[in-house]
Each structure stands twice: as structure tokens, then as C-alpha cells.
Amino acid sequence: MGKLVKTPMWKVHEDAGARMIDFAGYYLPVSYTGIDDEIMATRENVSIVEVTDMGRYSLKGKYATKLMELLTPRDIAAMDDMKCGYTYYLNENAGYRDDTIIGKKSETDYFNVCNAGSQTVKVLAWIGQFVKIFEEMTGEPLEFKDWTLETTMFAVQGPNTKVILDNLGVSDTGRWKMIEAEIEGCKCLFTGTGYTGEMGFEVVIFDSDLANPEKGIKVWNAILEAGKEVGIALCGLGARDALRIEAGLPLYGEDIHEEVTPVETGYDFKIFCKHDKEPFYFGKEALLKAKNEGVKIKHVGIKLLDKGIPRADYDILNTAGEKIGSMVNGVRSPVIGNIGVGMGFVDIKYAEPETEVLVQIRKNQVKAKVVKMPFYDTTKFGWKREA
């Protein structure tokens, strides 16, 4: 398996019978009882998954908000204290350097999460150069710290999440709130975030690394104990990936990357991206041009109408059999009756929901259609579900 980065939880996962894999250079569980079981446990109850591979970094100082405003298209100044928000870092062509969760403790104090592995290295190096420039320009210090290898991180997701918080004695994180708390004497940061489309929270445990894993293990066990009454499930990264596809959430390297813009992906919602934000942010000119002039391709949801599973790089065809795009991912979704769904990019002419298309699966052209995301019934699943 080569030299993999082990997390403080690796032995806990092995002892629980997890199937372990190389995930972005980390030694992490892909599943425990089976991917379908773990998907349904998350959609119908609650589950916990380790996400320590994600990058974590803090930024503190008088001009911290000014720097975050420069680096992202989101209106960071308008965010409330102790709130999180999704946005992204763009390159000069408005392509994605990365997407990120901004955690605003205050105007001068941020704790953010970015993507894993080489993306963490790339993004933190990029931000670090502007930290130095800001310090030289303003004469004011900015404390920029990488917490990735000094902390452990879990995601608890599903409709019974609040039971866990109540039993832990932690206030409801709702959606996007940040809460600092101690669990079993361990310093933690809770956020109302996740990657499944469900209600849930993520928690960062400080002073928990590979050499000293005790605090991460303590909090993991405390969460399991808090979830006993509802039967909290252990979840691996296989189910987590399927859950985010069902929810229509992007993954860096598939749905988003340096060569596509938020206008093409459709993730340029006002709350994530203030296109005309003044005075400047990286990628502004190119993003405004894409928005005003239009784009040639669009990121869409694809739902198969016949048996099959769409996979990355499978061709998407029009009904005449002409190639109009490509899949970037796909999964068989137990939530919607084991139907194959996934996301891809198509010619803008075919991007309207309910447009009939074909997916080339090996030698077969399988009937499909463009659909709105998420793929599931939002009255039954996800954070918008009816009580």
C-alpha cells in the first residue's frame, strides 16, 4: 500500500472491522458493514465518519477579513461571527484552485477547512504568500497556522444528529453555526456543516495527532455513547462519496477543478459568490465575463432510465448518438431504488432539466435524462425534509 499517512483513529477503525484503503495518501476506512447499509443509515438515522484527511488552517490578525475578501468571491465581511460559509478560491481564469469552508469566529479570527492531500499543500502555500505580502504592506502581523496534522476531525450526519448533540451537552449547530465546547476534557470546534445533504455537524478535536491519539479517540467514543439510543452507525468514505453524489455536491478533481468556472458548474449562488464584489477578488474579471457572456458547457445531474451505473469519463450522447459531454462520476443510489445517477458536463444546449440523453456504458447506449439535484425526494431525505 506504500507509505500512507495514518490518522490518530487508524487502530480504532481496524478494530471495528473496517476495510481500509489509500485515500488521497491517507489510511482510512472505505466501509464497515457495507456501503449501501451506511448510506441508508445516514439518510434515515445518523452516522459518524472520520474526515481527518481534510485540510484545516487558521488565520488571525487585524487584516484577516481583508485577506479573506481578496482570496474569495464571497462577501466575507457580511458573515456573522461564529458562522461558517461555503465558497472557493479561484485562479486568474476563474477556475477553481479549491473550494473551502470559511469558519468566521470574528473579524480577526478564522478557522477554515480545505480539500485533502496535495490540495492542502497547494492551497496553504498559495495563501501563505499573500499573508507575507499583507504583513509587509500593513506592518501588522497575521498568524497563519496549518492544523491538519495536529487535529482530528469527524462528521456526524443524519436526521437524528440532534440526539447526539443533546446527549453530549452541546448546543444545536443547526446549519452553518460554529460552537466551541469541551468533550471529555478535550477542546473541540463544532460546525453545522457536512458533505451528505443531511443535517449534521463536523467536529475538530485539538491536540490529537498520530503520536498522541487519546483525545480524538475519547471524543469518538463519547459520540458513539451519545448515539447509542438511536443506533448510530459507523460510516466509511465509500458511502460518504455516494451520499455527496446523491446530494449533488461537488468534489475537487471531478466536478470542480482549475479548468472550469463556478458559472459552468452552477455553484455560483449569491450566498457563495458575490460576482461584482468590490473592489477586487482573485478571478473577478474572468468570472464576470463568464456570467455576462455565457458559457458553452454546464455541470448537470444525470439519471439513468434503464439499468446501469454511469462512471467517470463515460460519454454523454444526444438522442441521435452524438457526443455532447462526459460523466465525471456516478453511483447506484439505494435511496432512489438502486437507480444509476451521477454528474457530468454537457453542451449548454442540452443542460435543461428533463432533456433526454444517452450514456455510453461499455457497448450499450443507456437511456437517461438531465435532472435537477439533489437526486432524492427532498420531502423525505436531506436537511429540507418534512418533519
- Beta-carbon contacts of 244 under 8 Å, excluding residues fewer than 6 positions away, are 195, 196, 197, 251
Q: What is the pLDDT of residue 2?
A: 60
Q: What is the pLDDT of residue 377?
A: 96
Nine cell digits for residue 334: 439505494
Domains and CATH numbers, the chain: 5-54+149-243 (3.30.1360.120), 296-372 (2.40.30.110)
Rounded mean pLDDT of 362-376?
97
- For the range 164-171, what are the long-range contacts, defined as Cβ-Cβ under 8 Å and sequence gap of 24 or more? 164/46, 164/223, 164/226, 164/227, 164/230, 164/232, 165/190, 165/201, 165/226, 167/225, 167/226, 167/227, 167/229, 168/222, 168/223, 168/226
What is the average pLDDT value for the chain, to the nearest integer? 96
pLDDT surpassing 90 at residue 1: no
Q: What is the pLDDT of residue 269?
A: 87
Rounded mean pLDDT of 230-259?
97
327-356 b/e (C-beta count within 10 Å ≥ 16 → b): bbbbbbbbbbeebbbbbbbbebebbeeebe
pLDDT surpassing 80 at residue 174: yes
Q: Global pTM?
A: 0.96
Q: What is the pLDDT of residue 387?
A: 64
pLDDT surpassing 70 at residue 348: yes
Dist CA 9 CA 28 (whole Å): 9
**Cell match 466551541: residue?**
180
pLDDT surpassing 80 at residue 86: yes
Report percent pLDDT > 70 for the chain: 99
Mind listing the pLDDT tens digit for each residue in 59-72?
A: 999 999 999 999 99
pLDDT surpassing 60 at residue 14: yes
- The amino acid sitting at 300 is V
Q: What is the pLDDT of residue 3?
A: 83
Q: What is the pLDDT of residue 279?
A: 86
386 or 185, which is more confident: 185
Q: What is the pLDDT of residue 135?
A: 96
Q: What is the pLDDT of residue 24?
A: 82
pLDDT surpassing 70 at residue 360: yes
Rounded mean pLDDT of 119-138?
96
Report percent pLDDT > 90 for the chain: 95
